[in-house]
């Protein structure tokens, strides 16, 4: 039975939500692991959930990225263990250098919590195995520092090779450059996104006019852990 | 009239807690072994370009702006207004 | 408030000697209005607090009510008015921190936060600064601790321009079997966990017990800065301690700091304590007096059996929670406080925490007459279109999206009915079933300032209707009474009448008031009180969250019906104030019998699947309720207001904007309307089918075949979404 670790830092608050979806909705084995007790080699996949690790002090994700737990993830990159970063988890992956770019303060200067419409570009790897190119996924965002930034050179290379999640026209909640909502490593093994797929995995949590677009990410993982990617 | 660059640094008053500074100190700096640093305080930095006849006037204007527009909350904050070196 | 000479004399008698400095500080903190409730205690006995669902009533840190036979819901309300006037960001934030910790004391998991904010007008610069600070404070704190903030209430009024009312509530759930209801025993160690104690918040309770000084910039001693990261670690580690059975008693250090936490614990359980103050972990050097009364945030007390100490320490250390073992409980009922081996206080716990009561004089001011005036000469009717647009763009009615989008209202994956779409929030239990609960906070400061008795009763009724509208059965409420200076008879009268209004209607509605708070001294340095306000937070049981109702119209071709009778009751209405600047007159009568009848009807109709949408009618009246449903559903309506069941109505604006109680608007499936009519007849409910939902985005009201109002939905949408412009473009 594949084992998934949900790493929890001081201030992480979406860990139980992710576990609920992985265990009760998708039927996988998942455990919340306190960052001090996390070692990468016991797990088949790792999720860094949302929240406010270390209060988002200094910069969101900046302090968590310097913990032993995250350093191990960086060192074990070549092991090819699937890593998903959701919201604060995405911020941590970016601060740790596992994903390119930076996440800055929303252009409105305010925290924003609302449902958005996104679409997948170039699905690749374990987290997007069941998603199709161009597939529309509805999910809620809830963040203050979600404005994606990347320099032009790096963006050009991203565009050619990496899986991406983008806000549909009119749904960009924070001024992200190129409407980027999420980005993956070229092989798709590491994937990070600002929207919360765990909040969009069950039909009756989706408000009128939206559908639960987050579920495909967790179901892709389940599929990939069984069949490879 | 010339343009003067005036800096405003806003910090929490001495008796008021600074959880951000404390967290950066305890969970990042000390955890990574830099015990030479004994404390960290955080603040907000503003740089204002002011048209005025003298640097004294520029500073006066900035101080007035900070007071009247509640750029800082005098109940909890200290401010330092200085000419950019 | 410093102790009066009579109170100091009383202390001498209790101790049989001169009190020490520390003992005086302890009594001052404990006997302050905020902690002792001396001005309200006698009247509070009027409230009905029992019910067959009540598990823990008033008296403990948080009340608990049986939600289902195996689950309890724990909820509490608090005010942080005075700190928020001085430092809105930290004042509101620490209010959130405090209320969450109270829920933790029963071992419940906090799952919802509510903010009821009564603030000034957005175009007043000072009020605008307060509004932004308060919302940001709640947002930054609530979001970090991972508890969704929703179902709050707001009101914008010049009376609150410099003195906002910030009432916050927290809801927790727990299986009945794990509720922490134990008591400490002699020998149990006293551990304080959480933040180090400092000088901030010194005598904060005392600060809340006097009117705001003219120069608030000097009030720094009372300002407390919140630390949500520590709060989150407290929540997480307490959950572990409780689930492993390592801790049987938890208490929050709130108003009165260490003093009240120790004295209340000891008095409630017949214990004494030995405290060694120097052991308390601190941020700076503090005197014993300061250690006893500091109100530094994010601190909790736990009673730990010595045999469990090592395991407890392991959990705390692993979670980076600082703590100190400061003493132990004894069986002799005396609190002995030492500092470096020298005794600084020795007081009987029961004497210190003994309920104090003061009989206050109460007298209506002449101003109170304005609530008795029937409205005779109303100004000529305006353009109805202009009136509707003005009302929809009034901050008291307009969409509060600017506020609720700053709150993470989805964390926890329980929120089924989200802010903005339902009259209340609906959350699922997340226990594998479809069970859940609804919660909402409500108040109407205008009503209570005109007619405090009926106004308070109407606030209860509005909360009751909001729960019913989403399909929940109301089971209990808590109340917060915000009033002026209790030492002034003409302020105290408002408090007394509001309380009596709540006491009356809750008995009629069979709705127990399981807890509540009182906030006095909400007046400025000139002695003017803010609008006295009764805030009600109610919870209701939802058997199946998938059947929860929202207010947005769903289907063109469905019919629209109004439930309840409409009377000409424009007194105290938003319409009268916004259009004519008038704030007086007989406010709408509370109608508890109709509320019960109509609620039973609505709940049954929802259960039978007859309805597509439900909205209760409150501020703005029928026209506003209809407009909100249309705008949110993005569907037009065609309604004949002449068909509305009404009595004694002389003018069209009375039909449109009267705020008569006990009414709802429903969207009923066109093939089920006969069934609905039969149900209404059977239950003795007044129902009138008044129109239908249209495909095209036009909002039309007619009377006797004459169109009285026809506007594009876009115009109404624009008005309804104007709050952001008012606040951001405001100052």
Q: Which of B27, B31, B30, B8 is nearest to B19 (CA)?
A: B27
Q: Does A112 touch chain C (CB under 8 A)?
A: yes
Q: Which residue is closest to A55 within chain C, CA to CA? A: C229
Helix and strand counts by DSSP (H, E) for chain B = 2, 3
Enumerate residues 6+ apart whose C-beta is below 8 A from C463: C440, C441, C442, C474, C477, C536, C537, C538
**C528 domain residue, yes or no:** no
Last residue of a domain, one of C331, C354, C377: C354
Nearest Cα of chain B lies from the Cα of A129 at a distance, in angstroms, of: 37
Active-site residue among C53, C80, C328, C491?
C80
Question: Is A198 one of the annotated active-site residues of the chain?
Answer: yes
Q: What CA–CA distance (Å, rounded) separates C641 from C358?
A: 52
Strands C334-339 and C342-348: antiparallel
Where is pLDDT greater, at B75 or C630? C630
From residue C465, how far is each of C50, C508, C658 by CA, in Å? 21, 14, 17
Using a CB-CB cut-off of 8 Å, the residues of chain C touching A140 are 410
Answer whether C87 sits within 8 Å of B73, measured CB to CB: yes
- Does B24 contact A at CB distance below 8 Å? yes
Contact, C166 vs C274, CB < 8 A? no
Q: How many CB pairs under 8 A join A and C?
A: 85
In a domain, B76, yes or no: yes
E strands of chain A, at which residues? Answer: 3-8, 29-34, 45-48, 83-86, 102-104, 112-121, 136-143, 147-149, 164-167, 180-184, 190-193
Note whether residue B27 is domain-resident. Answer: no
Helix axes C228-243, C125-144, angle to 10 degrees: 40
Considering only CA atoms, give the Rg of chain B: 16
Query: Which residue from C minimizes the CA distance to B22?
Result: C227
Give the model confidence (pLDDT) of C121-151 as tens digits: 999 999 999 999 999 999 999 999 999 999 9
CB B7 within 8 A of CB B46: yes
Is residue A108 packed enough to be buried (19+ CB in 10 Å), middle (13-18) or exposed (0-12)? middle
CB contact under 8 A, B17 and C87: no
Distance (Å, whole) CA C386 – CA C398 = 15
Single out the catalytic residue among A14, A87, A145, A219.
A87
User: Measured between beta carbons, which residues in chain A are less than 8 angstroms from residue B23?
Assistant: 54-55, 57-58, 63
> Please, are residues C555 and C693 in contact by the beta-carbon 8 Å criterion?
yes
The residue ranking higher by pLDDT, A76 or C628, is: C628
By DSSP bridging, strand A147-149 and strand A102-104 are: antiparallel
C332 by Cβ neighbours in 10 Å (0-12 / 13-18 / 19+) ranks as: middle
Chains in contact with A, where contact requires at least 3 CB pairs less than 8 Å apart = B, C
Nearest to C502 by CA among C536, C538, C541: C536
Listing DSSP states for A217-228 in one string gives HHHHHHHHHHH-
Task: Name the token pair of B18.
Answer: 């600074």
Which chains contact B through at least 3 pairs of Cβ atoms less than 8 Å apart?
A, C
B79 belongs to a structural domain: yes
C432 in a domain, yes or no? no
**CA–CA distance, C631 with C725 (Å, rounded to integer):** 18
- Indicate whether C215 pLDDT > 60: no
Mean per-residue pLDDT, C226-233: 95
pLDDT for residue C212 is more than 90:
no
- How is residue C305 written in tokens? 């059996």
Binding residues of C for Mg(2+), as ranges, are 78, 102, 252
Would you call A87 a catalytic residue per the annotation?
yes
Domain count within chain C: 2
The pLDDT of residue C219 is above 60: no
Restricting to C residues 207-226, those with a Cβ less than 8 Å away from any Cβ of B are 216-217, 219-220, 223-226
Most confident segment among A195-199, A203-207, C289-293, C351-355: A195-199
Our CA-based measurement puts residue B68 at a distance from the nearest CA of chain C, in whole angstroms, of 11
What is the pLDDT confidence band of residue C376, given thresholds at 50, 70 and 90? confident
Q: How many domains does chain B have?
A: 1
What the block records as the tokens of B53 is 């006849």
Instruction: Answer whether residue C218 shows pLDDT above 50.
Output: no
Q: How far is C521 from chain B (nearest CA, A)?
A: 21
Task: Answer whether residue C690 shows pLDDT above 80.
Answer: yes
- pTM equals 0.94
Instruction: Give the pLDDT of residue C224.
Output: 84
Please judge whether C217 and B75 are an interchain contact, meaning their C-beta atoms are less than 8 angstroms apart.
yes
Contact A58 B28 (CB under 8 A): yes
Examine residue C633 and state whether it is found in any structural domain, yes or no: yes
8 Å CB contact between C264 and C329: no
CA dihedral (C196, C202, C207, C209) positive or negative: positive
Q: Which residue is associated with the tokens 């003219």?
A: C214
Quick check: C105 and C252 in contact, CB under 8 A? yes
> Has A143 been annotated as catalytic?
no
Task: Give the CATH number of the domain where residue B62 resides.
Answer: 3.30.1280.10
- Specify if C483 maps to a domain: no
Cβ contact, residue pair B17, C229, below 8 Å: no
Closest residue of chain A to C415, computed from CA coordinates: A205
Q: Are C184 and C271 in contact (CB under 8 A)?
A: yes
- Distance, in Å, from the CA atom of C204 to the CA atom of C197, rounded to the nearest integer, reads 14
- B26 contacts chain A (CB < 8 A): no
Q: Are C572 and C446 in contact (CB under 8 A)?
A: yes
Strands A3-8, A45-48: parallel, antiparallel or unpaired by DSSP?
parallel
Buried b (16+ CB within 10 A) or exposed e, B9-38: ebbbbeebbbbbbbbbbebbbeeeeeeeee
Cα C197–Cα C200–Cα C206 angle in degrees, nearest 5: 110
Return the pLDDT at B1: 85
- Provide Rg for chain C, Cα atoms: 26
Question: In angstroms, rounded to a whole number, what is the distance separating the alpha carbons of residues C14 and C9?
Answer: 9
Residue C533: inside a domain, yes or no? no
Q: What is the pLDDT of residue C526?
A: 86
Strands A29-34 and A190-193: unpaired
Question: Considering the domain boundaries, does residue B54 fall inside one?
Answer: yes
Dist. CA C296–CA C722, nearest whole Å: 39
DSSP secondary structure letter of residue C206: H
**Identity of the residue in C86, C229, C230 whose CB atom sits nearest the CB atom of B75:** C86
A119 dihedral zone (left: phi>0; alpha: psi -120 to 50; beta)? beta
Which chain B residue has the Cα nearest residue C216? B75
A interface mutation test: which of C133, C146, C148, C404 has the most A CBs within 10 A?
C146
Q: State yes or no: pLDDT of C13 exceeds 50.
A: yes
Q: Is residue C515 part of a domain?
A: no
For β-strands A190-193 and A180-184, DSSP reports them as: antiparallel
What is the per-residue pLDDT for C217?
45
pLDDT, residue C220, reads 53
Contacts of C224 in chain B (CB under 8 A): 17
Distance from CA of B29 to the nearest CA of C (A): 15
The answer to whether C539 touches C430, Cβ cutoff 8 Å, is no
Q: Looking up tokens 């109100």, which residue turns up?
A: C295
Q: Are C58 and C514 in contact (CB under 8 A)?
A: yes
Is residue C163, in this structure, part of any structural domain at all?
no
Contact B15 C199 (CB under 8 A): yes
* C229 contacts in chain B (CB < 8 Å): 19, 23
Regarding predicted confidence, which is higher, C353 or A191? A191
Cβ–Cβ gap B76/C225 under 8 Å: yes
Q: Identify the sign of the CA torsion A77, A79, A80, A85.
A: negative
- For residue B18, the chain C residue with the least C-alpha distance is C225
Q: B63: domain range?
A: 2-16+42-83
- Describe the crossing of helices C228-243 and C309-318 by its angle, rounded to 10 degrees: 140
| Interface list for chain A against chain B, based on CB atoms closer than 8 Å | 10, 54-55, 57-58, 62-63, 66
Backbone angles phi, psi at B5, to 5 degrees: -95, 120
Specify the 3-state DSSP secondary structure of A64. helix
pLDDT tens profile C476-512: 999 999 999 999 999 999 999 999 999 999 999 999 9
Cβ-proximal residues to C371 (8 Å cutoff; 6+ apart), any chain: C450, C451, C454, C571, C572, C584, C585, C586, C587
Question: What is the set of domains in chain A, with CATH numbers?
Answer: 3-227 (3.40.50.880)
Residue C155 is encoded by which pair of tokens? 């009101």
Q: Please compute the mean of the pLDDT values over residues C60-89 and round it to a whole number.
A: 92
Determine, yes or no, domain membership for B32: no
User: C222 falls in which pLDDT band (50, 70, 90)?
Assistant: low
Min Cα separation B75/chain A (Å): 23
Q: Is C23 on the interface with A (CB under 8 A)?
A: no
Which of C151, C125, C676 is closest to C407 using CA atoms?
C151
Query: CA-CA distance, C684 to C563, in Å (whole number)?
Result: 11
Greater model confidence, C206 or A151: A151
C572: in domain: yes
Contact assessment for residue A178 and residue A155, using Cβ atoms and an 8 Å cutoff: yes
List residues in chain B touching C: CB distance below 8 A.
Answer: 12-13, 15-19, 23, 27, 70, 73-76
Question: For residue C211, what pLDDT is reported?
Answer: 60
Q: Confidence class of residue C594 from pLDDT cuts 50, 70 and 90?
A: very high
Considering CB atoms only, which of C404, C411, C432 is closest to A13? Answer: C411
Identify the H or E element spanning C580: helix C574-580
Q: Please state which of the ranges A110-114, C175-179, C342-346 shows the lowest mean pLDDT.
A: C175-179
Do B19 and C198 make contact, defined as CB atoms within 8 angstroms?
Answer: no
Q: Which residue has the higher pLDDT, A199 or B73?
A: A199
Lowest-pLDDT range, A58-67, C421-430, C721-730?
C721-730
Asked if C231 is an interface residue toward chain B (Cβ–Cβ < 8 A), one would say no
Q: Is the pLDDT of residue C356 over 50?
A: yes
**CATH of residue C628:** 3.90.650.10
Q: Residues of C numbered 318-337 whose beta carbons fall under 8 angstroms of chain B's beta carbons: which are they?
A: 320
Which residues from chain B sit within 8 angstroms of residue C317, using beta carbons? Answer: none
Which domain does C677 fall in, by range? 391-398+549-731
Q: Quick check: A56 contacting C, CB < 8 Å? A: yes
Q: Where are the alpha helices (DSSP H) in C75-196?
A: 81-86, 88-104, 125-144
Tens of pLDDT, residues C602-625: 999 999 999 999 999 999 999 999
Strand order, beta sheet including B77-83: B43-52, B2-12, B77-83
* Nearest CB to C220 within list B17, B19, B75: B75
Interface probe with C: pick from B75, B77, B79, most Cβ of C within 10 Å: B75
| Whether residue C731 has pLDDT greater than 60 | no
**Residue C290 in contact with partner chain B when CB distance is under 8 A:** no
Query: What are the pLDDT digits (tens) for A99-129?
Result: 999 999 999 989 999 999 999 999 999 999 9
Q: Are strands C436-442 and C425-428 parallel, antiparallel or unpaired?
A: antiparallel
To 5 degrees, how large is the angle CA C451–CA C457–CA C463?
A: 130
C150 neighbors C116 (Cβ within 8 angstroms): no
Query: Cα–Cα–Cα angle for C392, C398, C399, nearest 5°?
Result: 135
Q: Is B2 on the interface with A (CB under 8 A)?
A: no
pLDDT of residue C393: 97
Shortest alpha-carbon distance between residue A136 and chain C (Å): 21
DSSP C501-541: HHHHHHHHHT--EEEEEEE---B-TTS-B---EEEEEEEEE
Write out pLDDT tens, residues C540-567: 999 999 999 999 999 999 999 999 999 9
Residues of chain B with pLDDT under 50: none
Look at A113 and C416 and tell me if their CB atoms are within 8 Å.
no
């Amino acid at each position: 039975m594949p084992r998934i670790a949900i790493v929890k830092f001081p201030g992480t608050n979406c860990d139980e939500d992710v576990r609920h979806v992985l265990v009760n909705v998708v039927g996988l084995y998942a455990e919340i692991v306190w960052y001090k007790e996390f070692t990468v080699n016991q797990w088949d996949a790792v999720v860094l959930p949302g929240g406010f690790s270390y209060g988002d002090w200094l910069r969101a994700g900046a302090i968590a990225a310097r913990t032993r737990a995250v350093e191990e993830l960086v060192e074990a990159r070549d092991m090819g263990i699937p890593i998903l970063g959701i919201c604060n988890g995405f911020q941590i992956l970016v601060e740790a250098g596992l994903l390119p770019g930076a996440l800055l303060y929303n252009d409105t200067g305010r925290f924003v919590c609302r449902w958005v419409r996104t679409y997948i570009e170039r699905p690749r790897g374990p987290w997007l195995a069941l998603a199709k190119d161009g597939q529309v996924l509805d999910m809620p965002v809830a963040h203050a520092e979600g404005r994606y930034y990347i320099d032009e050179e790096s963006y050009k290379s991203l565009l050619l090779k990496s899986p991406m999640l983008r806000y549909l026209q009119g749904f960009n909640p924070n001024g992200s450059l190129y409407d980027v909502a999420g980005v993956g490593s070229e092989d798709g093994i590491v994937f990070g996104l600002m929207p919360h797929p765990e909040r969009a995995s069950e039909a009756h949590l989706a408000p009128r006019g939206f559908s639960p677009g987050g579920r495909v990410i967790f179901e892709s993982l389940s599929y990939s852990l069984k069949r490879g990617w | 009239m010339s343009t003067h660059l005036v800096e405003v640094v806003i910090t929490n008053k001495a008796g008021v807690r600074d959880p951000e500074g404390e967290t950066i100190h305890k969970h990042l700096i000390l955890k990574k072994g830099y015990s030479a640093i004994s404390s960290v305080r955080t603040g907000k930095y503003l740089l204002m370009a002011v048209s005025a006849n003298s640097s004294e006037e520029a500073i006066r204007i900035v101080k007035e702006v900070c007071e009247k527009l509640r750029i800082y909350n005098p109940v909890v904050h200290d401010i330092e207004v200085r000419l950019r070196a | 408030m410093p102790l009066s000479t009579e109170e100091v004399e009383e202390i001498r008698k209790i101790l049989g000697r001169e009190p020490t400095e520390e003992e005086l500080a302890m009594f001052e903190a404990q006997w302050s209005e905020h902690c002792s409730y001396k001005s309200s205690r006698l009247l509070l006995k009027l409230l009905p607090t029992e019910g067959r669902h009540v598990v823990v009533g008033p008296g403990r840190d948080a009340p608990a009510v049986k939600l289902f036979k195996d689950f309890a819901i724990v909820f509490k309300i608090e005010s942080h008015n005075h700190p928020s006037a001085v430092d809105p960001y930290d004042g509101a934030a620490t209010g959130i921190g405090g209320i969450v910790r109270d829920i933790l004391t029963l071992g419940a998991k906090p799952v919802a936060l509510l903010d009821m904010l009564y603030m000034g007008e957005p175009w007043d610069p000072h009020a605008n600064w307060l509004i932004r600070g308060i919302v940001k404070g709640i947002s930054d704190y609530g979001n970090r601790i991972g508890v969704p903030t929703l179902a709050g209430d707001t009101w914008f009024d010049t009376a609150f321009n410099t003195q906002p009312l910030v009432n916050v509530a927290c809801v927790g759930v727990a299986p009945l079997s794990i509720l922490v209801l134990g008591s400490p025993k002699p020998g149990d160690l006293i551990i304080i966990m959480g933040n180090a104690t400092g000088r901030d918040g010194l005598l904060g309770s005392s600060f809340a017990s006097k009117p705001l000084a003219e120069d608030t910039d000097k009030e720094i001693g009372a300002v407390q800065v919140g630390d949500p990261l520590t709060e989150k670690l407290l929540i997480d580690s307490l959950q572990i301690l409780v689930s492993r059975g390592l801790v049987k008693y938890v208490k929050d250090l709130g108003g009165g700091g260490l003093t009240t936490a120790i004295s209340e614990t000891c008095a409630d359980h017949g214990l004494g304590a030995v405290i060694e103050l120097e052991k308390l972990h601190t941020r700076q050097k503090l005197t014993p007096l300061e250690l006893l009364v500091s109100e530094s945030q994010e601190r909790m007390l736990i009673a730990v059996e010595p045999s469990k100490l090592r395991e407890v320490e392991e959990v705390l250390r692993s979670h980076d929670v600082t703590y100190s073992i400061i003493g132990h409980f004894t069986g002799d009922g005396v609190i002995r406080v030492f500092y470096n081996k020298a005794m600084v206080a020795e007081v009987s716990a029961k004497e210190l925490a003994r309920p104090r009561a003061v009989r206050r004089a109460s007298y209506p001011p002449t101003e109170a007459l304005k609530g008795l005036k029937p409205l005779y000469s109303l100004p000529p009717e305006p353009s109805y279109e202009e009136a509707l647009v003005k009302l929809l763009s009034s901050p008291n009615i307009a969409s509060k999206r600017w506020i609720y989008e700053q709150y993470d209202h989805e964390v926890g994956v329980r929120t089924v009915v989200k802010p903005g779409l339902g009259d209340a929030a609906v959350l699922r239990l997340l226990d594998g079933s479809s069970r859940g609960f609804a919660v909402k906070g409500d108040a109407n400061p205008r009503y209570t300032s005109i007619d405090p008795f009926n106004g308070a009763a109407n606030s209860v009724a509005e909360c009751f209707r909001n729960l019913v509208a989403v399909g929940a059965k109301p089971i209990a409420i808590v109340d917060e009474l915000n009033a002026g200076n209790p030492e002034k008879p003409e302020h105290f009268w408002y408090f007394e009448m509001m309380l009596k209004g709540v006491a009356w209607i809750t008995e009629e509605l069979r709705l127990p008031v399981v807890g509540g708070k009182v906030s006095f001294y909400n007046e400025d340095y000139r002695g003017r009180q803010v609008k006295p306000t009764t805030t009600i937070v109610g919870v209701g049981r939802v058997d199946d969250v998938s059947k929860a109702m929202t207010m947005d119209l769903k289907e063109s071709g469905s019919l629209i019906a109004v439930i309840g009778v409409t009377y000409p009751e424009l007194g105290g209405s938003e319409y009268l104030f916004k259009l004519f600047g008038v704030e007086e007159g007989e406010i709408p009568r509370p109608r508890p019998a109709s509320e019960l009848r109509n609620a039973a009807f609505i709940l049954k109709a929802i259960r039978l699947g007859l309805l597509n949408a439900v909205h209760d009618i409150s501020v703005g009246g029928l026209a506003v309720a209809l407009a909100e449903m249309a705008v949110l559903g993005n569907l037009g309506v065609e309604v004949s207001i002449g068909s509305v069941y009404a009595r004694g109505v002389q003018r069209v604006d009375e039909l449109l904007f009267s705020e008569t109680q006990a009414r709802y608007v429903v969207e009923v499936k066109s093939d089920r309307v006969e069934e609905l009519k039969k149900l209404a007849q059977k239950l003795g409910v007044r129902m009138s089918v008044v129109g239908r939902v249209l495909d095209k985005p036009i909002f039309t009201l007619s009377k006797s075949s004459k169109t009285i109002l026809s506007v594009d939905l876009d115009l109404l949408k624009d008005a309804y979404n104007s709050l952001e412009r008012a606040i951001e473009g405001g100052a």
